[in-house]
Amino acid sequence: MNRRSLGSTSLLVSPLGLGLAALGRPGYINLGHANDLKQDYSVEAMQRHAHDVLDEAWRLGVAYFDAARSYGRAEPFLGAWLESRRVPREDVVVGSKWGYTYTAGWQVEAEKHEVKEHSLPVLRRQWGETQANLNGYLRLYQIHSATFDSGVLDNTEVLAELARLKGQGIAIGLTLSGANQAELLDKALGVTVDGTRLFDTVQATWNLLEPSAGSALAAAHTAGMGVIVKEALANGRLTPRNDQPEFAAKLALLRREAERLETTVDALALAAALAQPWADVVLSGAATVDQLRSNVQAVTVRWDDEVAVQLGTLAEAPEVYWETRSRLAWN
């Protein structure tokens, strides 16, 4: 895969990246996650499984890897892989996130899987943990799911600490979630510390079911921010695993267009995100080697006006999309 700059930063990334949300913990909300892990949840088995997927990603040209403190053991799995494979630091871009603490205790079912707190003590603690786990590979540090409710974009102590890290050469970003992604991104664009814009990148949900943040992401990209797309497969809802009767007609349309373009349904959905001129990186959330190989086909899909028009009919109201997502079961 050809590399490109992540916004106006010096970071060179592949168009398809790998997010480790489904690889670092036993439980996640992706459809069919339990089957992907073959219900073998020992730390050793999951690390071997994660390393198999990472090996294949590297072989296929993936050069951006995305973790978070709340993704179970995703950071130590990734750090161990980078060191054991002796991946040159200059050849890879690693991003991680702070703000959520993993609380599931390595269980599939838990009262709370993660707890959010965007405070200065949490930032400092998790920064140290991330540095220890990733052994100097970290290039991008992101606020995990910034919201108006958490007040993080108004917390001058947190913003000053992030600016200090930026001064040490770490790119600073934020990730978004929910129906008001566009409004929060607009606020983030205006956040400055000592006259300099703080945020170098934004990671947001955009997919065929929930494209509402597209205009805001385009504006951010024009302003020089790198744009990372997450959940392009809508946690599996844009794959044949979605067997909900009300989705049958939409899945049939996806299958027809995928067949016409000689690709898979998942690659087609990822290609929709890759086709957006403002998207620097689109994350695969693959949990198996086979899923990753299918996902990577997205970079060669012959996207055209016809498929754009046809698949443009799949969009849901943002409130409907996010309510549906909130009901997905951890498995």
Tens digits of residue pLDDT in 15-71:
999 999 999 999 899 999 989 988 889 999 999 999 999 999 999 999 999 999 999
Structural domain contains residue 309: yes
The pTM of this model reads: 0.97
For residue 150, tell me if it sits in a domain.
yes
Within a domain: 31:
yes
Neighbours of 17 (CB within 10 A): 26
The strand pairing partners of 97, in sequence order, are 142
Supply the pLDDT for residue 116. 94
Instruction: Tell me the β-bridge partners of 102.
Output: 114
Q: Mean pLDDT throughout 164-192? A: 97
Beta carbons of 170 and 140 less than 8 angstroms apart: yes
pLDDT at 186: 97
- Read off the pLDDT of each residue in 239-243 and give the average, rounded to a whole number: 96
Per-residue pLDDT band at 104 (split at 50, 70, 90) = confident
For 223, the domain range is 13-316
Distance CA 259, CA 108 (A): 36
What pLDDT does residue 44 have?
97
The whole-angstrom separation of Cα 64 and Cα 278 is 17
Please report whether residue 2 resides in a domain. Answer: no
User: What does the mean pLDDT of the chain come to?
Assistant: 96
Is residue 323 assigned to a domain? no
How does pLDDT run across 105-154, given as a tens digit for each residue? 888 888 888 999 999 999 999 999 999 999 999 999 999 999 999 999 99
Check residue 109 and give its pLDDT: 84
CA distance 21 to 320: 23
In the chain, where do the E strands start and end?
4-5, 12-13, 16-19, 64-66, 93-98, 100-102, 114-116, 138-143, 171-175, 192-193, 196-197, 201-205, 226-230, 281-284
Share of the chain above pLDDT 70, in %: 100
Assess if residue 329 is contained within a domain: no
**Mean pLDDT of all residues in 180-200:** 97
Q: What is the CATH number of the domain that holds 145?
A: 3.20.20.100
pLDDT for residue 110? 84
- Compute the average pLDDT of residues 182-208: 97
Count structural domains, the chain.
Answer: 1
Is residue 151 in a domain? Answer: yes
φ, ψ (nearest 5 deg) of residue 190: -95, 0
Looking up tokens 């992101």 gives 142
Q: What average pLDDT does the segment 189-212 reach?
A: 97
Nearest to 130 by CA among 67, 203, 62: 67
pLDDT band of 248, cuts 50, 70, 90? very high
Distance from the first to the final alpha carbon of the chain: 32
On whether the CB atoms of residues 221 and 193 are closer than 8 A, the answer is: no
Pick from 193, 201, 190: nearest CA to 230: 201
Candidates 128, 23, 36, 33; CA nearest to 67 is 23
For the chain, counts of helices (H) and of strands (E)? 12, 14
Rounded Cα gap, residues 76 and 55, in angstroms: 15
What is the model's pLDDT at position 128?
Answer: 98
